[in-house]
Chain A
Amino acid sequence: MRIIAKELFYVSGLAFLIYFVMEIFWPGIVLSYVNINWVLILWLITAILIILLKSNKKNGNK
């Protein structure tokens, strides 16, 4: 689970960055098809998941 979250975290982060840059050059080109906020939300959820799963793992090891 943590590995999936980690992979999604990197891809969604990179996607947000690329989409953001594209929006600067061509306003609306991404927003008119995809709501970038959802990409950002996915990035945040995966980040939270990674932290939670990491702390669970540490607790389990103890």
Chain B
Amino acid sequence: MTINKIIKFRIILFLLLFMSVCFFFHKAIVPSGKIVYVNNFEKENYFLGKLSPGERVAMGDKKIENIIIANPVYFNLYTPRAFDKAVLKYRYKNICKIPLIETGALVDKNAWRYDLKPVENRLIDQLSLVWNEIREGDEILLVRPETLGGEAGTSYSNIKDFISNPPSFNQVAAYNYNLNLNYFLEDYHPSEFATQDIPALRGAYQFFVYLKNENLDLNFIFYDLNKNKDSDDFDIRLYFNNELIDFKHIEDDGNISDNGEFSRENNFHVYLANLPEGAYKIEVKANNDIITKTIKSAHKKMAFIHKLELFNSGNQDIKLYTDSNLIQATTIFPESLQTVKINENNLDINETYKQFEISTGNQGTSSEILLQKDGLILSGDGVFAFNPFSLINPKIKKADYNLDVNKAGINYIIAKYKTPQKIGEWSMAEVEIDLAQAYRENNKNSFIISAPALKQKDKKKLYFDLIEIELNGRSLRDKINNLWN
């Protein structure tokens, strides 16, 4: 071999090495700000993880588990850099006619909250065939046919009309739509005495209070269990019409170990004057080490939203009231196993770490829940209160499979929803997700596929053929321009 040939050979080899390094750098930096990851369930994908947990998925005709048999399932997306937006594309087969499929990214790890977006909502799909439909892009307004020209001549020609001149609160259901309708209680008078005495709650929770010619006045008593490592800081947030209007941050007790030494009790007074009439949402954003020993307040209306965990402190015979149609209960404490009485029905909680549920058939009515003891996590699609007269639900009814539009007297449904495209027996859905708000750890985003009606015991299945994620973020040029500006 002549020296010339050796040099040529060396140049070719180093050129190949250089090109491969450039290729990997390109994949790592994504200079265009756009990249697509595909999981077709034929080959393991490093970036787009498998559906998990294993017991909720099954093997189909692919090489990797692609059938969902129980709800919910998760998958991770590893990206070498951060992106602002993701467009998820699912090709799936819903032969069991599962009424609601949603997906989303994890936004709050402490509260284990995923920001859910619609994949398929069969209630809206079916109603759009029989009700009058106004569709403007992704926005849909469904109007019950007999309502047209009915109530005070409210026939809407477009969605803007509907927003500017909405019907009464009780007639409207919404899905994936931020609709602010004024919620006022007629014949409401503030109470002069302390009417609320909430038992010990664990971790995060949210509740509504109603104010009219009164000041927001809440007395919390908190303490820290110190059972988990890390600092146990927490926040109390106040919202009005979905907007944050006040915020308090409470520092950890100084003990960041997991020695289980309870901190001393801390009183925390939330007081705000001159607030306009309406329903306010208070959110306590805390981890499971934080116990709210009690909340004392004089507010007549006070209802906990969707979920509350009653701390295992030995309380017995606790009565709650809810407007939820579907109630779920779980316990992690063997001593809290019990039979929960809901109206005339019994719900046996006879296993720890297992979720039990019951349908109350509530559509605008309320149910009484009688707990033998605390230590339960209660959740539902409505609100929970400790007094029957405290129930208040200023949330617009959610238009999903739990809603009986006839029983609930719903005449209008407004939604932001794209009906999945049908290709034979396969459906193709496209969902846009804001990744800028999503929780990211070790370069990974966690996603959920939620189909609440999919239960293992029902032997229903949801087949997936393809998951494609198109990511969009700032390009290298934008980043360089930002550095200069």
Contact = CB atoms under 8 A, between A and B. Distances in A.
B247 interface: no
Nearest to A31: B46
A29 B10 contact: no
B13 A27 contact: no
A7 B16 CA distance: 13
Interface stretch (B19-27, B112-120, B345-353, B415-423): B19-27
B24 A30 contact: yes
A28 B46 contact: yes
B46 A11 contact: no
Interface string A1-44: 00110011001001100110010011111111110000000000
Contacts of B483: none
B333 interface: no
Interface string B405-445: 00000000000000000000000000000000000000100
Nearest to B47: A32
B130 interface: no
Nearest to A32: B46
Given A28-B46, A28-B47, A22 B443 contact: no
Interface residues of A, number: 20
Interface in B1-39: 1, 6, 9-10, 13-14, 16-17, 20-21, 23-25, 27-28
Contacts of A32: 45-47
A15 B14 CA distance: 9
B180 to A, nearest CB: 44
Contacts of A15: 17, 20
Contacts of B27: 29, 33
A34 B28 CA distance: 14
A14 B14 CA distance: 9
A29 B80 contact: yes
A25 to B, nearest CB: 8
A31 B24 CA distance: 10
A8 B13 contact: yes
Contacts of A28: 46-47, 78, 80
B330 to A, nearest CB: 35
Interface in B56-84: 78, 80
Contacts of A22: 21, 24-25, 28
B6 A7 contact: yes
A3 B14 contact: no
Given A11-B17, A27-B443, A29-B27, A4 B9 contact: yes
A24 to B, nearest CB: 12
B1 A33 contact: no
A7 B80 contact: no
Contacts of A14: 17
B6 A3 contact: yes
A4 to B, nearest CB: 7
Interface string B44-60: 01110000000000000
B45 to A, nearest CB: 8
Contacts of B1: 3-4
A7 B13 contact: yes
Contacts of B46: 28, 31-32
A41 to B, nearest CB: 16
Nearest to B10: A7
Given A7-B9, A32-B47, A26 B80 contact: yes
B473 to A, nearest CB: 15
Contacts of B47: 28, 32
A31 B80 CA distance: 13
A32 B6 CA distance: 32
B147 to A, nearest CB: 55
A26 B23 CA distance: 13
Contacts of A7: 6, 9-10, 13
Nearest to A6: B6
Contacts of B17: 11, 14-15, 18
25 contacts: A3-B1, A4-B1, A4-B9, A7-B9, A7-B10, A7-B13, A8-B13, A11-B13, A11-B14, A11-B17, A15-B17, A19-B24, A22-B24, A22-B25, A26-B80, A27-B443, A28-B46, A28-B80, A29-B24, A29-B27, A29-B28, A31-B46, A32-B47, A33-B23, A33-B24
Given A3-B6, A7-B10, A26-B24, 16 more contacts: A4-B1, A4-B9, A7-B6, A7-B13, A11-B14, A18-B21, A22-B21, A22-B28, A27-B443, A28-B47, A28-B78, A29-B27, A29-B80, A30-B24, A31-B46, A33-B24
Per CB-CB distance, the 5 closest pairs between chain A and chain B, nearest first, are A32-B46, A11-B13, A26-B80, A26-B28, A28-B46
